[in-house]
């Protein structure tokens, strides 16, 4: 049995993390996403070190490509689910900022 490379192992961990992020985003469990994103970022940093140092055999290369495609699909889903939430948050923040400025200019509402 061939040994699994550390690069492929890291891609597997990243794929699992991003898949969980997609699941959480579908469930609107926004509070758990930042910690997972941080974990995924640490794996990406590890991959930046490993990739130039390790040569993959053809089967490992194919597995890495399969994992990368899975990561890309799940990441696109996460972005599609999170982006509207961020836009809504920014809109609310803008509204609150406007209300605060009006309060400063004209005083609190009666």
pLDDT, one tens digit per residue, over 1-37 is: 345 799 999 999 999 999 999 999 999 999 999 999 9
Q: Which CATH number goes with the domain that contains 102? A: 1.20.58.380
Domain that holds residue 72: 6-106
Q: Which class for 37: exposed (0-12), middle (13-18), buried (19 or more C-beta within 10 A)?
A: middle
DSSP string, 15-40: HHHHHHHHHHHHTT-GGGHHHHHHHH
* Residue 27 placed within a domain: yes
Q: Does a structural domain hold residue 101? A: yes
Q: How far apart are the first and last CA of the chain?
A: 76
Is pLDDT at 74 greater than 90 in this prediction? yes
Instruction: Confirm whether 1 is domain-assigned.
Output: no
Q: What is the mean pLDDT of residues 90-109?
A: 79
- pLDDT at position 108 is 67
Total structural domains in the chain?
Answer: 1
pTM of this structure: 0.77
| pLDDT surpassing 80 at residue 107 | no
103 or 29: which leads in pLDDT:
29
């Amino acid at each position: 049995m061939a040994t699994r490379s550390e690069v492929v192992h890291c891609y597997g961990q990243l794929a699992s993390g991003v898949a969980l992020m997609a699941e959480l985003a579908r469930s609107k469990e926004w509070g758990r996403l930042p910690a997972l994103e941080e974990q995924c970022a640490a794996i990406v940093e590890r991959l930046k070190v490993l990739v130039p140092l390790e040569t993959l055999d053809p089967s490992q290369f194919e597995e890495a490509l399969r994992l990368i495609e899975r990561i890309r699909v799940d990441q696109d889903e996460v972005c599609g689910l999170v982006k509207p939430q961020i836009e809504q948050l920014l809109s609310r923040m803008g509204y609150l900022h406007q209300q605060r400025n009006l309060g400063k200019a004209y005083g609190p509402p009666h």
